[in-house]
Structure 1
Amino acid sequence: MQQIDVFLGRLGRILALTASLCLVVMMFQICLDVGGRYLFGKPMPSTLEIVSDWWMPALIFLPLLNVEWRNENIAVDLFYQGLGPRAQAVLDAIALVCFGVFLALIAYAGFEQAMRAYRQGEFIIGMIPVITWPPRFFLPVAGFLTALLCFVRAVRAVGRAASTKAETSDI
């Protein structure tokens, strides 16, 4: 399980780096579009379509695995801190399974939509045609990988709960 966690962590960093590169390209493209529009009267073609259908989905979905791997999701632990280690481990397992199931369902639905878009060769006609089916796979890929990480960590949390129970019963 530890090896899967480490592998997913590395993969998450690669996906987050990819999202960072997409951010830089998006900023460069927008700067060229604005500069071209106001300095030369010629904006870059289909900037709005490319930004909204390629760069924004990459920025939203690709870092998802890295955020979960680093435990940087928003959490409210009002009562959690007052619980013992075993109860915390049990709640961690429950939360991770719930989040993993949610992500798996969203990823599954996203995968169906991505496959539909792929089969149709989905594209948008702006100033130039923009192929839009490849970024449809960002959600299912990131969602399934993050769900896998959640399930791996849930198994570890169950193990923590069991070992904590064994330690406290020996006392």
Structure 2
Amino acid sequence: MRTAQHLQSMAIQAAMAQPKDLPKFWRASTTPDQKLDAQLIHWDLIDRFTSGTAGRADLWDWMETGFTYSQLMRLLAEDGTEFTPEAMAAIADQLNTYEAIAQRHARTGRVGFNATELLTARAAASVFDSLIEMDRYGVAEKAAIWSTEQMVHVRRKMLAEACAI
């Protein structure tokens, strides 16, 4: 199965292939196959977390996926899409779990959820499924590029904290 990092790498390549000055209405949307892959990826990551088979790379992919979808929601909202407070809360709640889960991994070497985090991840994944269906005008690609950049900063921060210990 493709990882979130691989899909985002493909999105970056596709974005680089498109001229930046194209009007948004001419930019390609996510294909049905890409949408299905995206939907399967985050559910697969949740399954890995709950089965105990997730590793560090899965943790990074899961976080990057959440950043991508939070940015996708923000970009869609800027373009006029309205979201329910529950959908916005599901995304925010997941983003708020990242630090605790990353710290737990640093302490124990294990990647997983507690009960509350699992419920949060499932709620966010349901919202993610809807968000990817709403993609238009290459917005998901923009979100993927942004989240890739954010993960560079997160990894640097985690590395600096690990070296300080």
**Bigger Rg, which one:** 1
Higher relative contact order structure (alpha carbons within 8 Å, sequence separation ≥ 6): 2
Q: TM-score, normalised by structure 1?
A: 0.28
Q: TM-score scaled by structure 2?
A: 0.29
